[in-house]
């Protein structure tokens, strides 16, 4: 039992069950329990969950990335502009956006490890630079803030199958989410690199003295969060056959919220990818559950905020008890 | 049973100097350690002890001076390189990630792996077996190596860090104030492990400002003050009282005790 309590994702798993029961009771009659209802909150959870998996790794390594949302806008718009204005094949545009994302992540990481400034500040700067230039470039080139028509791009069909199709009524992004979460959890818990992530966040000086390449680990993780943003941007651009310059706004905070509900510490060195997955699931359930229960959806953020604070309180209480028990 | 090889120091530092910006941390420090010997480096706060440790363990390159390992001159440009030469450093408080498990901490930076890339993975079972055996050798019994290190006592934590260094083939063990944050009993546990590492043939450099602990286990003593070494003394050359007096600042302490005496008289009168 103590071993179970000891796991960082314990609170999030319990929370997920509680939230599900809550909405099953209040919104069960209005569609929350149906397959389409389930598919709808899983789809919301999946897009956030892909971001949250990467963000939780970065947070365990002791850093933040506030530029995730603006990277979604920038990479999504890159894909749309390259296809719509320059007639690129969709695959080539996706690849180019991927390179852009890797560059953004690399620069974020490099500036953080070189200047030793808090990543909160550095990536806040990146957020504004990226979202500003996305709006600037898009308006300069098209005179608008939305670029559509992606379905006319070369190879759209194949890309749609991969990123935006549905399998048995469930969005394919749900399967991507499960696969990517399994992969990142495996990397964190079962590889050397994973152990270095814990070391880099929990005690960077100790880790460095023991030969862990802390700077490289952090840069790699900033590149991972940027790639996650690129992945979400790609599937959204394809799903909506276009991009809005405001796409992704606020996603960075939602991803941090999911990671924290999942038991990841803001101070680094502790956390769970699986937990972040459950955090994202809670997010999806709340957002859709509110709709199903007929409450004005304007209120879902209130619910989420209360969830966040409750989850953190429960997590830190349980962790304190566990550490105490041995002394 | 002394053979000739024992007389070549495992690690020898000669005239080390290091400054940062305009501030001199080390002016001229020389010391050496042989296999199976505990060399105590004693100095007050600000004497340059931590800079010395970092220079010996590859974190800083000295501005001047030489480092020799078994008579061979070396330049240590990184902690990793120092480790490759068999120099392991256990930092006070900086040795462990508190919320990470004992086994994961033990192997941090040197995880055993199995399988081929991209399926190469951290071999947790091997890690667990080795940690259990190594801790057993040092007399530490843990219920579960997947428990977070934070659940261990301070002395146990230091001991795990020392066990780790010995396991990874350290021939020179540099210990930074290993007993300063510990109670008497816990400090005793750590001092015993240090002797155990010595009897396994390690050269131990024990950096401390506690002359009592140093006297208990030291074979030789190097005193450091304001970035200079004031000489190395063997246990025969130095009495415990002399060591304590030197460390306490000798003259300065007498003045202080005089001053405090005055203050007590004034306030009670």
Q: What is the mean pLDDT of chain A?
A: 92
Residue of B nearest to A271 (CA): B99
Do A203 and B150 lie within an 8 Å CB cutoff?
no
pLDDT in tens, B223-243: 888 888 888 888 888 877 777
Q: Percent of chain B at pLDDT above 90? A: 29
Do B108 and A327 lie within an 8 Å CB cutoff?
no
pLDDT in tens, A32-55: 999 999 999 999 999 999 999 999
List of chain B residues whose C-beta atoms are within 8 Å of the C-beta of residue A206: 91, 94-97, 108
Do A195 and B89 lie within an 8 Å CB cutoff?
no
Which CATH number belongs to the domain containing residue B136 in this structure? 3.40.50.300
Residue of B nearest to A264 (CA): B99
pLDDT in tens, B32-58: 999 999 999 998 877 888 899 999 988
How far does the CA of residue A46 sit from the closest CA of chain B (Å)? 25
DSSP designation for A239: H
From the list B57, B122, B151, the residue facing A323 with the nearest CB is B151
pLDDT at A327 over 60: no
Q: Answer whether residue B147 is part of any domain.
A: yes
Q: Answer whether residue B255 is part of any domain.
A: no
Do B94 and A326 lie within an 8 Å CB cutoff?
no
pLDDT at A152 over 60: yes
Q: How does DSSP assign chain B, residue by residue?
A: ---GGGGS-SEEEEEEEEEETTEEEEEEEEEEE-TTEEEEEE--TTSSHHHHHHHHTTSS--SEEEEEETTEEE---SHHHHHHTTEEEE-TTTS--TTSBHHHHHTTTS--EES-TTS-EE-HHHHHHHHHHHHHHTT---S-TTSBGGGS-HHHHHHHHHHHHHHTT-SEEEEESTTTTS-HHHHHHHHHHHHHHHHTT-EEEEEES-HHHHHHH-SEEEEEETTEEEEEEEGGGS-HHHHHHHHTTTHHHHHHHHHHHHHHHHHH-
Which of A141-150, A249-258, B148-157 is the least confident region? B148-157
CA distances for B35 relative to A151, B85, B161, B199, B223, angstroms: 73, 14, 20, 9, 20
pLDDT at B149 over 90: no
Q: Answer whether residue B60 is part of any domain.
A: yes
Mutate to test the interface with B, among A195, A215, A265 (most CBs of B within 10 A): A195
pLDDT of the residue at B6: 53
Task: Pick the most confident of A132-136, B161-165, B185-189.
Answer: A132-136
Euclidean distance between the first and the last CA atom of chain B, given in angstroms as a whole number: 64
Do A203 and B107 lie within an 8 Å CB cutoff?
no
Instruction: Give B1's pLDDT tier (boundaries 50, 70, 90).
Output: very low
Number of domains in chain A: 1
Q: Answer whether residue B53 is part of any domain.
A: yes
pLDDT in tens, A301-321: 898 899 889 888 888 887 777
Max Cα distance, chain A (Å): 66
From the list A186, A269, A326, the residue facing B97 with the nearest CB is A269
Number of Cβ within 10 Å of residue B268's Cβ equals 6
Instruction: Give B2's pLDDT tier (boundaries 50, 70, 90).
Output: very low
Domain range holding A270? 2-326
Residue of B nearest to A189 (CA): B122
Mutate to test the interface with A, among B84, B103, B108 (most CBs of A within 10 A): B108
From the list A203, A208, A327, the residue facing B96 with the nearest CB is A203
Which CATH number belongs to the domain containing residue A139 in this structure? 1.10.3470
DSSP three-state, residue A271? coil
Average pLDDT on A178-194 reads 96
pLDDT at A235 over 90: yes
Q: Answer whether residue B245 is part of any domain.
A: no
Average pLDDT on B170-178 reads 89
Instruction: Give B153's pLDDT tier (boundaries 50, 70, 90).
Output: confident
Number of Cβ within 10 Å of residue A317's Cβ equals 11
Number of domains in chain B: 1
How far does the CA of residue B9 sit from the closest CA of chain A (Å)? 24
Q: How many Cβ pairs within 8 Å bridge chains A and B?
A: 82
108-147 of B, contacting A, C-beta below 8 A: 108-111, 113, 120-122, 124, 147
CA B205/CA B203 separation, integer angstroms: 7
Higher pLDDT, residue A300 or A119: A119
Domain range holding B26? 4-238
Do B97 and A207 lie within an 8 Å CB cutoff?
yes
């Amino acid at each position: 039992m103590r071993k179970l309590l000891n796991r960082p994702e314990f609170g999030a798993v319990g929370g997920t069950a509680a939230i599900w029961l809550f909405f099953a009771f209040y919104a069960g009659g209005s569609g929350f329990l149906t397959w389409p209802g389930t598919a709808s909150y899983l789809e919301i959870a999946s897009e956030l969950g892909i971001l949250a998996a990467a963000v939780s790794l970065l947070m365990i390594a002791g850093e933040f990335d506030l530029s995730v949302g603006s990277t979604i806008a920038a990479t999504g718009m890159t894909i749309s502009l390259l296809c719509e204005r320059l007639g690129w094949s969709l695959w080539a545009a996706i690849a180019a956006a991927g390179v852009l994302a890797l560059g953004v992540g690399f620069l974020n990481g490099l500036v953080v490890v070189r200047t030793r400034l808090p990543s909160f500040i550095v990536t806040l700067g990146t957020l504004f630079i990226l979202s500003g230039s996305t709006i600037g470039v898009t308006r300069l080139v098209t005179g608008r803030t939305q670029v559509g028509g992606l379905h006319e791009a070369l190879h759209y069909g194949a890309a749609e199958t991969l990123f935006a199709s549905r399998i048995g009524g469930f969005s394919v992004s749900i399967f991507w989410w499960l696969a990517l979460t399994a992969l990142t959890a495996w990397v964190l818990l079962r590889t050397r690199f994973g152990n270095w992530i814990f070391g880099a966040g929990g005690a960077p000086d100790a880790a460095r003295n023991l030969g862990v390449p802390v700077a490289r680990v952090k840069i790699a993780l900033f590149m991972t969060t940027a790639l996650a943003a690129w992945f979400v941007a790609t599937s959204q651009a394809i799903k909506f056959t276009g991009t809005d310059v405001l796409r992704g706004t606020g996603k960075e905070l939602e991803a941090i919220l999911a990671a924290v509900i999942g038991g990841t510490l803001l101070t680094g060195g502790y956390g769970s990818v699986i937990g972040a997955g459950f955090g994202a699931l809670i997010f999806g359930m709340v957002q859709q559950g509110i709709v199903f229960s007929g409450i004005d959806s304007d209120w879902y953020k209130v619910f989420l905020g209360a969830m966040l604070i409750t989850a953190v309180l429960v997590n830190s209480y349980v962790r304190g008890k566990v550490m105490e028990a041995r002394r | 049973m002394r053979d000739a090889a024992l007389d070549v120091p495992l690690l020898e530092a000669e005239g080390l100097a290091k400054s940062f910006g305009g501030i001199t941390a080390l002016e001229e420090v020389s010391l050496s350690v042989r296999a199976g010997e505990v060399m105590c480096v004693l100095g007050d706060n600000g004497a340059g002890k931590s800079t010395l440790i970092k220079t010996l363990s590859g974190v800083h390159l000295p501005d001047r001076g030489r480092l020799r390992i078994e008579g061979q001159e070396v330049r240590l440009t990184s902690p990793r390189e120092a480790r490759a030469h068999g120099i392991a450093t256990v930092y006070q408080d900086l040795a462990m990630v508190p919320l990470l498990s004992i086994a994961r901490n033990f192997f941090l930076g040197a995880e055993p792996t199995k399988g081929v890339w991209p399926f190469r993975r951290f071999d947790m079972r091997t890690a667990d077996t080795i940690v259990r055996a190594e801790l057993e050798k040092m007399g530490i019994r843990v219920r579960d190596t997947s428990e977070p290190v934070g659940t261990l006592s301070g002395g146990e934590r230091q001991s795990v860090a020392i066990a780790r260094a010995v396991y990874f083939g350290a021939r020179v063990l540099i210990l930074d104030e290993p007993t300063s944050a510990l109670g008497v009993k816990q400090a005793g546990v750590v001092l015993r492990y240090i002797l155990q590492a010595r009897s396994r043939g390690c050269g131990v450099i024990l950096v401390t400002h506690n002359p009592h602990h140093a006297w208990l286990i030291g074979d030789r003593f190097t005193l450091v003050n304001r970035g200079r070494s004031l000489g190395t003394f063997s246990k025969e050359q130095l009495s415990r009282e002399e060591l304590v007096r030197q460390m306490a600042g000798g003259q300065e302490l007498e003045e202080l005790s005089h001053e405090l005496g005055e203050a007590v008289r004034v306030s009670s009168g």
